[in-house]
Every structure is written in structure tokens, then in C-alpha cells.
Amino acid sequence: MIRIKLRLQKSDRNLQSYTDYCHKNESRAFAKTIGLSAYRSLDGLTASEIEVIYNKTVTKEKTWWLYKGIIPPSSFEDISFNRQGIFTTYSFYRNGREEFKKDGFVSLNKDSLDGLARLLPPVHAFDQVKAFCFCTDPSMKRHFHIRGGGIHVALSLDEISLLHGSAPENLASVIKWAESHREELIESWEEAVNVYYVYYPDKNTT
């Protein structure tokens, strides 16, 4: 679970209380259930077991807000990750990379991404450039994505060339970085294909 701290004006009409929204659009217990899920997994529990946990746990859903719009990066003050009930400052390498991989987004290691970050520095305090592979069809052209540092592009793995997105001014330097990490990128693509088959085992004919 991620906790995001923002600085917004209370008068902003795009802000809406999470519990107010739930009371109008969901069942009575919905907001409390989601609030409880921020602390522990409710999978496999009966309704009566969840009710007992309700009565023993102080949840924070009354402090949550929904925002109907695009929030500018300058409004973000903190991003924290909840591990076993303790919130710590979020780090993609420490908290996000493995979860990212479970959904098929296979990222390069920290040292490799640190080198890329020197070419594509963050555009705001919480921007972390990522190079990753994601497979939607194993027969498609092998490629990887770079997101962060103000860009989102896809590049071919075979000849390291731009496929989609607007090229950064230092594209030649980014391509040189990719060429020096091509072996790791290919390994990431192969791992992304393996994750694809986890979700679609019937499509694995090998």
C-alpha cells in the first residue's frame, strides 16, 4: 500500500472525501473494508471474521481524499510505502521493482538505471527514470521502454532504435547506454515473456 501526501487547497472543487463518495456510491461497509485492507490481507476471511477485525482495528479511510483531475508534480510532498504496518519513504528499487515485475514490467537493476538517470535526470522530486520490458505478444518485435526524466519512449532491442515516443535531445547518448546494457535488456525481455505465459499459459506452445 502506498501513501501519498499532497498539498492542495481545501477549496479545490476537484477534491472529494473518500468516505462521502463511498456512502453515496457503494455499500455501507465498502469504505471500512478498503480501509482495513490497507493494514492486512482480507483474502479467505469470512464476513464474521472480518467483522471481528473491524472492531479491533482503527483505520484511516476518513482521512482519504479523491481528486477528479490531474495533480501537478509540484503538489506532491511525500510518497511512503506500507510494509507490515510501518510507512517508510518509497523507493522504486526497494519497494516497487519486484511488485512491478509480478505484473510483467521487468526493470533493469539499480546500477544500470543509475547510469540512465545521469542522462535523463528527474523533472520533479519523485521522478525515477526506469528502463523496462513488457510483453503483450511474444511474437512481437523485441523492445523496451524508458519512462521518466520527462520522456516515455519505446526502443527496438534488435538494432536499438526509436519505435514510439518523442526522442530526447540526447537520444544518441541514450542509445549508447542501451547498447552497453543490451545483454541485460534482452534478459529482461525474456523474463517479461515468461511472465506473459504465467498469465496466458494456454498460449505457450513451446
User: Strand 76-83 relative to strand 2-6: parallel, antiparallel, unpaired?
Assistant: antiparallel
Average pLDDT rounded to a whole number, residues 11-15: 91
| Interval 140-165: pLDDT, tens | 999 999 999 989 999 999 999 999 99
- Residue 82: the pLDDT is 80
Contact between 73 and 127 (Cβ < 8 Å): yes
pLDDT digits (tens, 9 = 90+) for 105-135: 999 999 999 999 999 999 888 888 999 999 9
pLDDT, position 199 = 92
Give residue 60's pLDDT: 82
The continuous run of DSSP H or E covering 199 comes out as: helix 182-199
Residue 67 pairs in a beta bridge with 15
pTM of the model: 0.72
Question: At residue 44, does pLDDT exceed 80?
Answer: yes
Q: Per-residue pLDDT for 85 more than 80?
A: no
Query: Which pLDDT value is given to residue 5?
Result: 87
Task: Please name the helix (run of DSSP H) or strand (run of DSSP E) that holds residue 179, with its range, or none.
Answer: helix 171-180
**What pLDDT is stored for residue 64 in this prediction?**
86
Segment of 24-33, 75-84, 161-170 carrying the highest mean pLDDT: 161-170
Over residues 171-185, mean pLDDT: 96
Q: Which position has the grid cell 505457450?
A: 204
| More reliable by pLDDT, 4 or 184 | 184
Report the percent of the chain where pLDDT is more than 70: 99
Cβ atoms within 10 Å, residue 120 = 22
CB 161 within 8 A of CB 155: yes
Whole-angstrom distance, CA of residue 146 vs CA of residue 149: 9
The partner residues of 66 in beta bridges, in order of sequence, read 16
Domain parsing of the chain, residue ranges: 2-89, 96-203
* Biggest CA pair distance of the chain: 61
Q: Other CB atoms closer than 10 Å to residue 178's CB: what's the count? A: 21
- The lowest-confidence range among 17-21, 40-44, 195-199 is 40-44
Mean pLDDT, rounded, of the chain: 89
**Spatial distance between the Cα atoms of 56 and 38, rounded to a whole number of angstroms:** 14
Q: Enter the DSSP assignment of 203.
A: G
Banded pLDDT at 62 (limits 50, 70, 90): confident
pLDDT in the model for residue 94: 82
pLDDT-above-90 percentage for the chain: 50
